[in-house]
Structure formats: C-alpha cells, structure tokens
Amino acid sequence: PGWMLDDREATNPDLWGWNHILVPYCSQDLWSGQRYKEFVLGNSSAGVPVSTRFAGHHILEAALEALNARGLANASRIVLAGNSAGGIGMWMHLDWAQARYPAAEVTGLSIAGFYGYANAKYAGPDAADEKTGLTDFSEAAFQNIFATYKPFIDQDCAAAHTDDPWACMLANFSHQFVSARSFIVESQTDQAVLQWHD
C-alpha cells in the first residue's frame, strides 16, 4: 500500500513518522508457503522439468529476523499490511506476528485481501486462462493449493477446520479466529474478485 509508505506528513498524517518496510511479493503463494525444497510443477512444452519453491512464510520470517537486528524487536506498534495477495497473507500471519512481538501492539490492514471461495468460475469476456489454475478460487482448487504450498495458516482456525484446513487460507473463514486488531479495505466492485476469481 503506497500511501502507508509515504513519509510526508501532509499526505500521510498518521504514519508519516513511522519506520516503513516494503517486502516485495516474490513467492506467488500468498506469503504462506513452507516449502524449502524445490517443488516440481510438471514439464514445459519442451519437456524440461519446471520447478519452484513456495516459501512465502519463510521469506516473511527471514525479513522479520533481519529487521529485528535493526530494532523491530523493540517496536511498540507494528502494522502488518498487505494488498491483494499480501492482504490474503496478512490474515494467515497476524496472530503469529502478535505472538512473535508480544510487547508490541500488532495491527493488521488487509487491502483487497478479504476472500472466500468463488461461487462459480467466471467464463465471460476477459476471463483468465483456464490452464493456469492460478485464479480458481473454488474449494477444490484450494485443496490443491494447500497441498502444493504447504501453507502456514492461523493455528486457531486450523484447530477448528480439521476436515478442511485449506479454508484457513481465506479471510472469509479465518478472520473470526484472528484476535489481533485488524482493518479491512475491500471494494464491492473489485474487478479481480468479480471477473477473475468468481
């Protein structure tokens, strides 16, 4: 969220004097993956194996460790914010961050990250490519995503969803278990939700 990182008082009166850290989204797993080893996705059209690591949770953990050495461990207030995929990942990590920094008041801000399962796959104009599978927000897709990413999820949600832990990847199911304070910014006309994920 760009405005949160703005260090000008006139445009960011509440947070301009805070330390701001941006961790670019690079894991493609909603910041949730816990796979250290390469995960083989399949073969390319040329028959070459295609693999990746889904390690978003470990990336976030390493970023926080590096920031601890720069004073984050002594913070009194922390805002864990994310936009879109980062907003989805925020829900999985908010109480974890609060437990990690018990002396701080940890607050979450999810911008365009409050998702649930899609009711029906959108197939109209400009629909996403079915071959990618990346925009399928059906429950069946999240069962596969859960197996692929081996995600870190909110532990209270996981305890309540023993038969369907993949539900805890989405705020529609997990937010009720999150105890840290949070704010939600979500458009009722979010193009990604309406056109590509539903």
Q: Rounded distance, CA 57 to CA 71, Å?
A: 21
**Which tokens hold the place of 118?**
């899609």
Kind plus residue range of the DSSP H or E element containing 170: none
Q: What is the DSSP letter of 45?
A: T
Amino acid at position 69, single letter:
A
pLDDT tens sequence across 88-129: 999 999 999 999 999 999 999 999 899 888 866 656 665 655
Name which residue leads in pLDDT, 197 or 24: 24
**Which tokens hold the place of 21?**
């850290």
Q: What is the pTM of this model?
A: 0.85
Q: Rounded distance, CA 187 to CA 52, Å?
A: 32
**Which tokens hold the place of 76?**
């009194």
pLDDT tens sequence across 57-99: 999 999 999 999 999 999 999 999 999 899 999 999 999 999 9
Q: Could you please report the per-residue DSSP string of 67-110? A: HHTTTGGG-SEEEEEEETHHHHHHHHHHHHHHHHSTTSEEEEEE
Averaged pLDDT for residues 182-195? 77
Pick from 99, 117, 94: which is nearest to 167 by CA? 117
Q: What is the pLDDT of residue 197?
A: 59
Q: What is the DSSP letter of 26?
A: -
Q: What is the pLDDT of residue 47?
A: 86
Averaged pLDDT for residues 177-189? 90
β-strand pairing of 49-52 with 39-43: antiparallel
User: Do 156 and 175 touch, CB atoms closer than 8 A?
Assistant: no
Query: Is residue 6 exposed (0-12), middle (13-18) or buried (19+ Cβ within 10 Å)?
Result: middle
